[in-house]
Chain A
Amino acid sequence: MSQYFHSIRIKTENCDGRMKCLRSCPTQAIRIRDKKAFILEEKCIDCGECITACPNGAIVALTDPFGELSRFKHTVAIPSPALYAQFGRSILPNRILAGLKKLGFDDAFDLAFTCGDTSLAIEHFLDEYQGPKPLISNSCPSVVSLIQVRYPQLVDHIIPIKLPKRLAAKEIKERKSKELGLKPEEIGTFYITPCPVKMIAIKQPLSEEECYLDGAISITDIYGPLLSALESEDKDSYRKSLESICILGIGWAIAGGMHRTQKMKNVLDVSGIAEIITTFDDIERGKLQDIDLVVPYSCPQGCVGGPLTVENRYISYNKILRLLETLEQENIEACRDKREIRERYRQKYFHMQQKYEPRPIQALDEDLGKAIKKRKKKEKIYDSLPRIDCGICGAPTCLAFAEDVVKGDAQPSDCIFNVPVRFKELTGELSRLLDGFGSVGAGKERKPGSEKKRKKS
């Protein structure tokens, strides 16, 4: 029945309808009926705000349990660079990767390198690009969904470069199957994710391109075990560990980090859905044409602020930033051969085969004439409402409620402020009934009798 795969589920048994999620949703995709929340699928962009907002833990991300690993002969962890920011400042990526291997993965892949490759590819793409500006980064899938749902006119602005985790998974499967003599499907690739939305890229790829990722494990799930699996001391010296970090890619974890170390052109960084919406409104008006690339992250501060992370987003942001600064000061630039990347770029290694398609929200009616009528009705209903967005009806705002009524998904009486009105109507009806009752004996009211007669005949 559902057209779109979503990675967020509401555990109805845990939900007691406290409306925190209702208010937190940036696309007004949540409603509450009979004290239980549910998601309007066409509006949801899987940003995960509701997961963070729910005090009962009733909203969960659909990630894979650790046990999934046993399905494969060889498993590889591909952690989001946001994982590197979850631990103390002295714990560098190579120690975290080693910890993942101790946890049971056969290998752990440093995604930052593929991120770095992709940054270079984006730079090449910007150099050649002639179309409408600004381009918009596709690195955050929630942002891509937001564009498809609310800004269908901007889908052509999304940069058609493949995502690092997908490129990495493909590379791993190809390389490992050769090395180990295994079939690609016997090798399990697991993304360690800071947010639920990344699951969608796995379960429902935006394009028909084959997806080489087998699953996603949330940072919150793996954090505890990983923490105790970390070696107490770094095997390598601090300097040597630093030298293993890809400066071009590690910044992908934070807003502003993707292009920091590059000579990318005029780039604008935005984070947080509300800010992104303001920015996209500007782009739709034809502003920001002097910007080459907008890099939006739906989570404030970037992926380090994801709903499935553990550390305070400002602290983890700061950790990545300091790491970048140190690498810059020390002149450490571990990354892959730039000429090779350029060659790959020329061979279209990074280019997406398919375009992003819009998925605009359903109109009030398919027929424009009827839609206009319904819009007028919606406004009339809205005018009759208190406009205080109390949420008691189960919709996040009075306007959303008016729309629900017009679409037939809610009743006017669901608004608590309509209760006195309804009460008056009912008492009115009651007194009329009572009046009628009193006069039946006087023989004035003959309706019930006549009805009976009609039925008999």
Chain B
Amino acid sequence: MVSRHNLSHAFEIKGGDFGKAGCVSLEIKEILRDLGIDPAIVRRAAIAAYEAEMNVVMYAESGKVVLRLNPKVIRITLEDQGPGIHDIEMAMQEGYTTATDQMREMGFGAGMGLPNIKKNADRFELKSKVGKGTSYNIIIHLNPEGGT
């Protein structure tokens, strides 16, 4: 019966499209707000989605974000076609960045993206294949105890 309550939404992101950057996380925020999700959780999900989205815009060719939700959990997955991450452990460290000077001048690529997702998610899994792409699995629990 739970599956009837599931909500699922897919969003496409184009790499390099800075003009539209942030739209996906805005839409996710709008959906969650509609559902009456606790604003604190909405904000965490929006930040995580935004950082993931920005990584596609900055580094990848394209990506697909899927938001799935049931009354217990929000799951945001992202798969991109991009360069992949050489050293995931390194990439998860605050301040580590491969952004170009130009990106940093624009205020992006401060090396906080992945750590920020981790900080705002209850669970965050990252898989990457160099030369192929990266996939994210972001889980945020809706009940305060955090159990599924």
| A153 touching B39, Cβ below 8 Å | yes
B50 on interface, CB distance cutoff 8 Å: yes
| B69 touching A285, Cβ below 8 Å | no
| B36 touching A364, Cβ below 8 Å | yes
- Residues in A whose Cβ lies below 8 Å from that of B70: 372
Per the bound structure, the CA–CA distance linking A363 and B46 in Å amounts to: 17
Expressed in whole angstroms, the minimum distance between the Cβ of A288 and any Cβ of chain B is: 9
Given that A372-B35, A375-B34 are known contacts, is A285 also in contact with B22, CB under 8 Å in the complex?
yes
Given that A153-B40, A364-B34, A368-B35 are known contacts, is A281 also in contact with B71, CB under 8 Å in the complex?
no
- Residues in B whose Cβ lies below 8 Å from that of A421: none
Q: Residue-by-residue, is B9-28 near A (CB-CB < 8 Å gives 1, otherwise 0)?
A: 00000000000001001100
| A285 touching B47, Cβ below 8 Å | yes
Expressed in whole angstroms, the minimum distance between the Cβ of B23 and any Cβ of chain A is: 10
| A285 touching B5, Cβ below 8 Å | no
- Residues in B whose Cβ lies below 8 Å from that of A373: 4-5
Expressed in whole angstroms, the minimum distance between the Cβ of A45 and any Cβ of chain B is: 16
Given that A363-B34, A375-B31, A375-B34 are known contacts, is A368 also in contact with B71, CB under 8 Å in the complex?
yes
- Residues in A whose Cβ lies below 8 Å from that of B47: 284-286
Most buried by A among B6, B39, B50, B116: B39
| A361 touching B22, Cβ below 8 Å | no
| B7 touching A369, Cβ below 8 Å | no
Per the bound structure, the CA–CA distance linking A363 and B71 in Å amounts to: 14
| A153 touching B34, Cβ below 8 Å | no
A-B pairs with CB below 8 Å: how many? 62
Q: Residue-by-residue, is A339-383 near B (CB-CB < 8 Å gives 1, otherwise 0)?
A: 000000000000000000010111111101101110110100000
B64 on interface, CB distance cutoff 8 Å: no
Q: How large is the interface on B (under 10, 10 to 19, 20 to 34, 35 or more residues)?
A: 20 to 34
| A153 touching B43, Cβ below 8 Å | yes
Q: Is the interface of A mostly helix, strand, loop or mixed?
A: helix
B33 on interface, CB distance cutoff 8 Å: yes
A272 on interface, CB distance cutoff 8 Å: no
| B35 touching A375, Cβ below 8 Å | yes
Expressed in whole angstroms, the minimum distance between the Cβ of A40 and any Cβ of chain B is: 15
Per the bound structure, the CA–CA distance linking A115 and B6 in Å amounts to: 52
Per the bound structure, the CA–CA distance linking A365 and B7 in Å amounts to: 15
Q: Residue-by-residue, is A313-331 near B (CB-CB < 8 Å gives 1, otherwise 0)?
A: 0000000000000000000
Given that A153-B39, A285-B25, A378-B34 are known contacts, is A372 also in contact with B50, CB under 8 Å in the complex?
no
- Residues in B whose Cβ lies below 8 Å from that of A358: 39
A152 on interface, CB distance cutoff 8 Å: yes
Per the bound structure, the CA–CA distance linking A362 and B35 in Å amounts to: 9
| B39 touching A152, Cβ below 8 Å | yes
Per the bound structure, the CA–CA distance linking A153 and B39 in Å amounts to: 6
| A284 touching B35, Cβ below 8 Å | no
8 Å CB contact of A281 from B26, B40, B107:
B26
A364-B36, A369-B5 known; 20 new pairs, CB 8 Å cut-off, are A153-B40, A153-B42, A153-B43, A281-B26, A284-B47, A285-B22, A285-B50, A286-B47, A361-B33, A362-B36, A363-B34, A364-B35, A368-B36, A368-B142, A371-B34, A372-B5, A375-B31, A375-B34, A378-B34, A403-B34
10 closest Cβ contacts across the A-B interface? A363-B36, A152-B39, A368-B71, A371-B35, A153-B43, A369-B5, A285-B50, A153-B39, A372-B5, A372-B7
Sample (13) of A-B pairs whose CB atoms are under 8 Å apart: A153-B42, A284-B43, A286-B116, A358-B39, A363-B37, A365-B36, A366-B36, A368-B5, A368-B71, A369-B71, A372-B35, A372-B71, A375-B34
